[in-house]
Amino acid sequence: MSESAVAQAATAAADPAAGDPLLQVDDLKVHFPVTEGLLKRQVGTIKAVDGVSFKLARGETFSLVGESGCGKSTTALAVLRMQTVTAGRILFEGVDVTHHSAARMRPIRRRMQMVYQDPFGSLNPRMKVSAIIGEPLVIHGLAGDREAHRARIRELMALVGLLPDMADRYPHEFSGGQRQRIGIARSLALDPSLLVCDEPVSALDVSIQAQVVNLMMDLQRRLGLTYLFIAHDLSVVRHISNRVAVMYLGRIVEIADRDVLFNAPKHPYTEALLAAVPVANPEIEANRAQQIIKGEVPSVRNPPSGCHFHPRCVHAMPRCRVESPALRPRDDGRLIACHLYD
């Protein structure tokens, strides 16, 4: 195999969405000004998302993982155009939506929906379940006549495993798992192609988490959905994802297929993150080599120079302090931003 063919194969593996991606994010930046005093003088910038690029193939689950505050939720909100984008490009179904007005976004919002973390806060306590699930249809004027609307709501409820007689109840009468099902049914009402799931199971009991994750995987198979899955629970991510991107302080440090990433993490931060997951067997847990990350997550307001991870990295070199590593493809198909692998 020629060298270029290897490189091509590598990019294809790292980038299965190369042909016709559903969603393409190029060098996305979301910066927030830090202001002080009465005159709102800008004294700094929080680079919540700082140059993030990825692509989602149709039908896949792409996970963004990282510690709190690494910018994964902000990225998700920017993709939905719920957050002002500072720079970069967002292409959805081949259309650049980065600078669409609210009116031009309206038809596009039908194709991208969000599933929320908090199943208690994301449902209006004063609306009946049927009204909540049917709401997207009403908003987009697709409710049709009464009978068709009710039938569609029943269909959606059946799809997520809710009983039809629950339609006239209020959200507070349901458990967390059921409420999350209501939220998922609502997000499916408009037949979207992309679901942005912001920690959809982290507020649920562990036993319920599995049910909801399996429901989501089942729905993906049946409806051909694409998931942008935001999470910090790595076991859930491993279960549901096709590909995983690891974020640290607003940047992606590694993107790889799920098995590649979980079996052989390469970026020092990914390694440390995976090592932090406890093993269920206490004997293995006691004896396995623990790689504990030194120090605290630095402030986003004042991130370290060069590679953001260098102050905590066991492999840090002088170069890491000055030069920020680019996200580059490796021959095993993954993308890594680390000077160790340059």
Residue 74 CB, nearest distance to another protein (Å)? 14
Tokens representing 272 are 């440390």
- In a 13 Å sphere around the CA of 28, the CA atoms on its Cβ side amount to 33
Does 238 interact with another protein (rule: CB under 8 A)? no
C-alpha 333/C-alpha 86 separation (Å) is 30
The DSSP bridge pattern shows strands 194-198 and 226-231 to be parallel
C-beta of residue 151 within 8 angstroms of C-beta of residue 232 = no
C-alpha 154/C-alpha 136 separation (Å) is 15
Candidates 11-19, 85-93, 104-112, 262-270; binding stretch for another protein (CB under 8 A): 104-112
**Subset of residues 166 to 225 that bind another protein, contact rule: CB under 8 A:** 170-173, 175-176, 183, 186, 190
Does 80 interact with another protein (rule: CB under 8 A)? yes
Candidates 39-47, 110-118, 241-249, 269-277; binding stretch for another protein (CB under 8 A): 110-118
Q: How far apart are the first and last CA of the chain?
A: 22
Residue 186 CB, nearest distance to another protein (Å)? 7
Q: Is the Cα torsion angle 258, 262, 268, 269 positive or negative in sign?
A: positive
C-alpha 109/C-alpha 222 separation (Å) is 21
Candidates 132-140, 160-168, 295-303, 321-329; binding stretch for another protein (CB under 8 A): 132-140
Minimum CB distance to another protein smaller for 78 or for 272: 78
Does 294 interact with another protein (rule: CB under 8 A)? no
CA angle in degrees (0–180, nearest 5) for 127-120-171: 35
Residue 38 CB, nearest distance to another protein (Å)? 13
Does 32 interact with another protein (rule: CB under 8 A)? no
For tokens 């000077």, the residue is: 339
C-beta of residue 16 within 8 angstroms of C-beta of residue 57 = yes
Binding to another protein by CB under 8 A, coded x per residue (else -) over 35-74, reads ----------------------------------------
Q: Which residue of 12, 87, 91, 127 would you call a contact of another protein, by CB under 8 A?
A: 127
C-alpha 127/C-alpha 171 separation (Å) is 8
Residue 187 CB, nearest distance to another protein (Å)? 9
| Interacting residues with another protein (CB under 8 A) | 80, 82, 105-107, 109-110, 113-114, 116, 118, 120-127, 135-136, 139-140, 170-173, 175-176, 183, 186, 190
